């Protein structure tokens, strides 16, 4: 039982620290743009299974603590750029334009 609690804590601890640091240091994702090339797909949070979102190419998340790689085995399949959607600048906001 103690081993299970320690393992759960080890998986949750980096995530909670990363989320706090990311929101305080990186802030809200910047989606402002002028042209399509200002936009890109990036991870905006620190969860191991988070699908990427469209943001300004200059914006970066801040997740200094590594999440355990084993958590990725349970991740869902994310939509793919170029197949399911295109990354575009629409009305000065980076967006996914679904096909």
Using the predicted structure, report yes or no on whether residue 24 has a pLDDT greater than 80.
yes
pLDDT at 3: 61
Going by C-alpha positions, the residue among 11, 46, 53, 51 that lies closest to residue 25 is: 46
pLDDT for 96 beyond 60: yes
**Cα(70)–Cα(91) distance, rounded to whole angstroms?**
40
**How far apart are alpha carbons 87 and 25 in whole angstroms?**
25
For residues 65 and 36, which has the higher predicted lDDT (pLDDT)?
A: 36
Instruction: Provide the token pair at 62.
Output: 């801040």
Position 18 scores a pLDDT of 75
The rounded distance, in Å, linking the Cα atoms of 61 and 40 is: 13
Instruction: Report the share of the chain in percent with pLDDT over 90.
Output: 43
Q: Write out the two tokens for 4.
A: 């299970």
pLDDT at 69 over 90: no
**Average pLDDT for residues 55-78, to the nearest whole number?**
80
Contact yes or no for 44/51 (Cβ under 8 A): no
Domain boundaries, the chain: 2-98
């Amino acid at each position: 039982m103690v081993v299970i609690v320690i393992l759960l804590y080890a998986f949750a601890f980096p995530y909670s620290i990363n989320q706090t640091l990311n929101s305080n240091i990186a802030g809200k994702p910047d989606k402002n743009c002028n042209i399509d090339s200002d936009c890109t797909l990036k991870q905006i949070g620190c969860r191991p299974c988070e699908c990427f979102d469209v943001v300004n190419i200059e914006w970066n998340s801040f997740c200094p603590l590594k999440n355990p790689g084993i958590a990725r085995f349970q991740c869902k399949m994310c939509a793919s750029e170029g197949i399911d959607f295109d990354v575009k600048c629409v009305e000065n906001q980076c967006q996914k334009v679904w096909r």
